[in-house]
Structure 1
Amino acid sequence: MRAPRLDLVVLGLSLSSSWGNGHATTFRALLRGLHALGHRVLFLEREQPWYAANRDLGAPDFCALEFYDSVVDLAAQHAHAIRAADAVIVGSYVPDGVAVIDAVQALAPGRVSFYDIDTPVTLARLARGDCAYIAPRQIPVLATYFSFTGGPTLDRLQDQYGARRAAALYCSVEPEHYRHTGAAPRWDLGYLGTYSVDRQPTLERLLLAPARRLPQRRFVVAGAQYPDDIDWPANVQRIAHLPPAEHPDFYSAQRFTLNVTRADMIAAGWSPSVRLFEAAAIGTPIISDAWEGLEALLPGGIAIARTTEEVVALLDAPEDASHQAMARRARDIVLRQHTGQARAGELAASLRQAAARHTAAVGE
């Protein structure tokens, strides 16, 4: 017997545009999974000109999508839906997030959770006192603090910040969209990711330096916001923005793909990215930087590289069946454990548990 349907309100950075962010694809996979399980979701997105100018999702068929202009507008236009929801989830990096959390807490007390797609970054900002989307005082009153990062970070959220409950809610992938397309091989090694200062040294070490060492090989970097002064080797193709619909062809055309992790997430460990799961679902062999939890999440399914020489050795090696076997192991794990529907099931079960605890507490 199927559990009762949940009516949810989700406030996230963006659903409509994947330009310059990884939040949109994360929410799309999760919300499609919720829809497949029979739940109903209203996604509320703050209108921003840079996302409005780069939308790659119109009217979704898996949720309702509406926009608001300010916190005042949010409360005025959507108070009824927020009050009526079984649960409300606010995501990280939502503009004026502290005020948004206060507003929805007033409308749906005891039913508001937080979904942190950037947990190590958030904790670093909280430690510095410059986090604009959640305040330390708000964490203890959340129903659940859902975190993109698992492992010891969950204990830290509970022990240091007083979270009632911290639970890992990793990113996920939509297997119906992420499968090998049969695209002809174009690149020996590629990378997909928005520019960030702390990722750039790793990209330099594990892709740009190998490209200079191997001028006969072909490389590609896709992503927005890279500075104009980067010295791109001649054999590195640049793609300024790649919409999600083109990700499968992009990964399918690579001999290997590179996973690069932000410094705060490396320090925390247990922080898989959506790009990691996308590439794995397609079956492209993955080369990744090293961090705690990676081998536990994808055991035997990934090649870890710390140096330029290690990447060069992988690219210079003859075609090896072991690399394809490694990719198949990663794909099998992702399709079993890290699909949008699997993640949606985890989320729904956790929200029901939180609701039961809240009901019990109110009844005491």
Structure 2
Amino acid sequence: MKIAFYGSSLLSSYWNGAATYYRGVIRDLAARGHDVIFYEPEAYDRQAHNDIAPPDWARSRVYAATTDALNAVMDEAALADVVVKTSGVGVFDDELITGVMSRARPDAVRIFWDVDAPATLEEIRPQPGHPLRQALPALDLVLTYGGGPPVVAAYESLGARRCVPIYNALDPDTHHPVPPEPRFAADLSLLANRLPDRERRVEAFFLDAALRLPGQRFVLGGNGWADKPMSPNIRYIGHVPTRDHNAFNTSATAVLNIARDSMAATGYSPATRVFEAAGAGACLITDAWVGLELFLAEGIEVLVARDGADVAAHVAELTPARARAIGEAARLRICADHTYTRRGVEVDALLREETARRRAMVANA
């Protein structure tokens, strides 16, 4: 099938945490014979920070953030068997959901793919006239990369015909164990962009833990933290390109995951970082959220913290041997149950099922 995929960026992870997810899913779909064109706008300086070359498993189409360029790429939706609009493109989000779906062929499958469902739902619930909410009844599928039963129920209550979670996963060819590097050495590291609905939790789980352990080393990576007050034992290193994530994850005794406010409240929302860290065999400490047990077993494959005091206690008590054991157990679990190959099977089946349904509906009209 020819898939037109309108998202934030395939080529850059800069201010774009969904990049790893897009790459994993699309690469597997390509291996199953699908032809994917990914349309990404020139926005947020992402193209100046590309961290992969244009791949051979998808065609990347970068377009200027202008109305003329937008209309040109939206017109190409008419050529596709499947039209996908993601959340969080960052520019022209409202225009895209209306424009690409209206241009799609009658027999084409129409999908909204939400990479931040709790935030999207919070935005559209009070707005009956929101373009996405208006579009929902005409879509074949809403796919989400997290949220579980609460998100499915919420989308269907707002008019979505069908909502299916396609969770984050691991590409073992991309994220795997590598030798540690001194530049990332730490007792605890965190990789997270500074966002309004994450900052408070970073303060509570990471900055507070560092204050409690002045003799331990902490490393913070991600965009936007340069002017944030931090204790002297935290080293801020800025944006970490995808190519360095393996070394980042293997060079600390433990790696911290912190969900955003909305995802923590909703649950069933494992971040990309969870799978990247597990794939590298890192010892992961995560904040607590409902549904974690579907992915990793607490105390065996992951350590769970309810606040900064818990994080500090884990770091203080963790021995290198136990950290290695937890990291290896997590790697084996994720490689067995949560790879993009498994997610690709799910998405491929959905696309074929919905294509057959759509074509039958058109034929019988």
User: TM-score, normalised on structure 2?
Assistant: 0.91
Report the counterpart of residue 103 of structure 1 in structure 2: 99
List per-residue Cα deviations over 1:272-310 (Å, max 9, x = no partner).
110111001111111111111012222342111012322
Distance 1:361 1:120 in 2: 32
Matched, 1:56 2:51: yes
CA distance in 2, matches of 1:225, 1:201: 14
Within the alignment, does 1:187 sit opposite 2:186 as a pair?
Answer: yes
Task: Quote how far apart the aligned CAs of 1:102 are.
Answer: 1.9
Shift of 1:128: 4.3
Q: Does 1:329 align with 2:329?
A: yes
TM-fit CA distance, 1:40: 1.5
Structure 2 counterpart of 1:14, one-letter code: S
SS of the residue corresponding to residue 83 of structure 2 reads: strand
Q: Give the structure 2 partner of residue 218 of structure 1.
A: 217
SS in 2 for 1:180: coil
Which residue in 2 is equivalent to 1:137?
134
Match of 1:21, SS state, is coil
Distance in 2 of aligned mates of 1:334 and 1:49: 32
User: Could you tell which deviates more after superposition, 6-15 or 246-255?
Assistant: 6-15
Q: Which letter maps to 2:335?
A: L
The residue matched to 1:151 in structure 2 has which SS?
Answer: helix
Q: How far apart in 2 are the matches of 1:196 and 1:131?
A: 27
Give the Cα–Cα distance (whole angstroms) in 1 for the partners of residues 320 and 270 of structure 2: 26
Out of 265, 268, 281, the position equivalent to 1:267 is: 265
Q: Distance in 2 between matches of 1:157 and 1:195?
A: 28
Q: Which residue of 1 aligns with 2:363?
A: 363
Compute the displacement of 1:340 (Å).
Answer: 2.4
- The offset of 1:49, in angstroms, is 5.4
Alignment match of 1:166 (pick from 157, 163, 166):
163
State the distance in 2 between where 1:320 and 1:236 align. Answer: 20
C-alpha spacing 1:205/1:362, structure 2 compared with 1 (3 Å): same
3-state SS of 2:245 partner: helix
Partner SS state of residue 177, structure 1: coil
C-alpha contact 2:82 2:110 (8 A) present in aligned 1: yes
Preserved contact between residue 289 and residue 305 of structure 1 (Cα < 8 Å): yes
Q: 1:131 to 1:26 in 2, by over 3 A?
A: farther
**2: CA distance, partners of 1:131 / 1:204:** 36
Compute the RMSD of aligned alpha carbons. 2.1
Distance in 2 (CA, whole Å) between partners of 1:323 and 1:240 is: 25
Name the counterpart of 2:122.
Answer: 124
Residue 29 of structure 1 aligns with an amino acid whose one-letter code is G
Is the partner of 1:19 in helix, strand or coil? Answer: coil
SS at match of 2:196: coil
| % same residue | 32
**Cα distance between partner residues in 1 of 2:314 and 2:13:** 31
Q: Which residue of 2 aligns with 1:303?
A: 303
The letter for the 2-side match of 1:348 is: D
| Counterpart Cα distance in 2 of 1:112 and 1:100 | 12
Give the deviation of 1:77 after TM superposition: 4.9
Q: 1:247 Cα deviation (Å)?
A: 0.4
Trace 1:212-251 onto structure 2 (pairs within 5 A): 212-226=211-225, 228=227, 230-251=228-249
What SS does the aligned partner of 1:198 have? Answer: helix
Give the aligned partner of residue 3 of structure 1.
none
Q: Does the 8 Å CA contact 1:285/1:324 hold for their aligned counterparts?
A: yes
1:140 is displaced (CA, Å) by 1.2
**What is the rounded CA distance, in whole Å, between the counterparts of 1:51 and 1:330 in structure 2?**
32
How many pairs are equivalent?
A: 355
Contact 1:32 1:341 in 2 (8 A): no
Contact 1:184 1:253 in 2 (8 A): yes
CA distance in 2, matches of 1:78, 1:164: 23
Compare 328-337 and 352-361 and name the one that shifted more: 328-337
Q: CA–CA distance in 1 between the matches of 2:342 and 2:236?
A: 34
Q: What TM-score does the superposition give when structure 1 sets the normalisation length?
A: 0.91
- Give the unaligned 5+ runs of structure 1: 1-5
User: How many Å separate the matches in 2 of 1:103 and 1:7?
Assistant: 18
Deviation at 1:71, TM superposition (A): 5.0
Going from structure 1 to structure 2, the CA distance change for 1:12 and 1:320 (only over 3 Å counts) comes to: same
- CA deviation profile, 1:74-93 (whole Å, cap 9, x unmatched): 443563x4223221111101
Contact 1:71–1:103 (CA under 8 A) maintained in structure 2: no
Deviates more, 1:12-21 or 1:293-302: 293-302
- Specify whether residues 129 and 315 from structure 1 end up closer, same or farther in structure 2 by C-alpha distance, changes over 3 A only: same
- Which has the larger displacement, 238-247 or 179-188? 179-188
